[in-house]
Amino acid sequence: MSSDNKDKKPTRSSHSYGKLDKDGFIHRSWMKSEGLPDDAFDGRPVIGICNTWSELTPCNAHLREIAEYVKRGVWEAGGLPLEFPVMSLGETQMRPTAMLFRNLVSMDVEESIRGNPIDGVVLLGGCDKTTPAQLMGAASVDLPTMVISSGPMLNGKHCGSDIGSGTDVWKFSEDVRAGKMPLKDFLKAETGMSRTPGTCMTMGSASTFACLVEAMGLSLPFNGTIPAVDASRRSMAHLTGRRMVDLVREDRKLSSYLTRECLENAIRVLAAIGGSTNAVLHLLAIAGRLGLDLSIDDFDEFTRDVPLLVNLQPSGKYLMEDFHYAGGVPFVLKTLGSLIKTDFETVSGKTIGEIAQEAEGYNADVLHTLDKPVKKNAGIWVLRGNLCPNGALIKPSAASDELLTHEARAVVFQNIEDMKARLDDPDLEVDENSILVLKGCGPKGYPGMPEVGNMPLPQKLLEKGVRDMVRISDARMSGTAFGTVILHVSPEAEAGGPLAFVETGDMIRLDGPARSLDVLVSEEEMARRKAKWPGPETAPKYTRGYYKLYIDHVLQADEGADLDFLVGSSGSEVLRESH
């Protein structure tokens, strides 16, 4: 080993590469087969690049290229970059739902980081569940960590207009079902919507979480908004690699940045950008890995005084490309001012306040002010009541104001198959005032809690011009979706929550401003129904493999839907050698 490094603090990787014995020989020799020189193992920081690249994940299809730019920066700063793959989750491709496998990816990431001789890690993710899964796994190891998101794709185009991922799919689909859009135009939009690699260019779950990563100070500025194909993202990757080496030398672990106060900032930014309800599950799960106190009620508390500031689909008009060039997350932080904490340091070396102070805004129609917001109702409303004793969520910025207080008759579907079979039946007893209720779509029930909460509306109502109804389920909803949709009802029906006992014809009362959701059935009647309940019968049953592990151990939505045995941390220490 080089004498120049003998007085430096030993790196974690030196336990493998620094030994002058059989174990050191094995670790170094096999790595030298990749063409690495002797001085690659002289004690320099080894930076793992955790890559979720996959051709089955179109959002992440360019991350192999991004990794090369990270490597440039690592080499330049005197580190050794080593890229490794983990399971990738293509939200648009995986069945039954990518959320089923978020926890599995977190296990893959955790053990890949812990088991290998690396000193810090750069997480390359993008598509909805990859980045949260990576952060969950990294948090349970707690090495120095930075995030690079894949970035949003360029604006979609159709017939001379911009169109947005997901958001316009839902609109176009309902227009086709209502007979207002020819099928040929629907299929034509299919080609123009997704024109480049990258995540949804609406404020979907991926763009939401990329922006929250930035707001939490876990990435360099503009990570959340630089388009995937913009040269600035490659430049940012280069600078991230360079900065990552510094973090290792400074021994700045993930937990030194990912604190309770940065989570509070993330929640407020979530409201300001009109972010996805999926972020609630992910932030709760990440907090659980670090032992940080966070509950669903915090999302209501910390967003009550934050209006919608970003005029972006699905809650507004524009798309992520417009958001970036208008000023991005740094300008949102600047606009929020005293509503956020500004004195904590980010992985960039600057504080949130310093980043905000340098920010500039360029389009007042995209980025609004506190006194002239896009909408006053924003954030996440957490509902309580006899239908959801452990809570349920609604995103008011994507809802119809007139439906946020509503009382009506329930039309109940026992599971997703029941809904698909009966929704468009002309004889279905449903009108525009009805409340659609869907069971069996929670963490255990589907399994995996799919994005089906924004149920399609009955065709006979679409043909009458109806475009929104109150919908209730134990499912999730895509961040690109919209409507007066109540989600994450907890406990779920499959677990014997009150949702399981709701029947068609029951009256349900939603009072959004009062944060209440109740089925107007007596306690005695609900108890009678519960006593007669045969137990969950509608969900497919799984007797082996990851599905069974997940169903047996998944927590409910109000706890982040992590697996119970993954909550907490095991650290980075590995006590035994491999040979």
- What is the DSSP track for 364-414? TTTB--SSS-SBSS-S-EEEBSTT-TT-EEE-GGGS-GGGSEEEEEEEEES
> Tell me, what's the pLDDT at 578?
84
> Tell me, what's the pLDDT at 536?
77
> Tell me, what's the pLDDT at 191?
87
> Tell me, what's the pLDDT at 302?
96
> Tell me, what's the pLDDT at 3?
39
Calculate mean pLDDT across residues 295-304: 96
Q: Is residue 32's pLDDT more than 70?
A: yes
Q: Characterize 302-328 residue by residue with b for buried, 16 or more Cβ atoms within 10 angstroms of its Cβ, and e for exposed.
A: bbeebbbbbbbbbbbebbbbbbbebbb
Q: Characterize 99-131 residue by residue with b for buried, 16 or more Cβ atoms within 10 angstroms of its Cβ, and e for exposed.
A: bbbbbbbbbbbbebbbebbbbbbbbbbbbbbbb
Select from 3.30.200.20, 3.50.30.80, 3.40.710.10, 3.40.50.1170 the CATH code of 381-540: 3.50.30.80
Residue 535 vs residue 252, higher pLDDT = 252
Calculate mean pLDDT across residues 17-22: 93
> Tell me, what's the pLDDT at 8?
64
- CATH fold match for the domains 45-154+196-358 and 381-540: no
Tokens of 313: 């689909």
> Could you count the other beta carbons within 10 Å of the beta carbon of residue 18?
19
Calculate mean pLDDT across residues 441-453: 96
What pLDDT band is residue 538 in, cutting at 50, 70 and 90? low
Supply the CATH classification number for the domain 45-154+196-358. Answer: 3.40.50.2300
Q: Is residue 4's pLDDT more than 50?
A: no
Domain ranges within the chain, ordered by starting residue: 11-43, 45-154+196-358, 157-193, 381-540
What pLDDT band is residue 6 in, cutting at 50, 70 and 90? very low
What pLDDT band is residue 1 in, cutting at 50, 70 and 90? very low
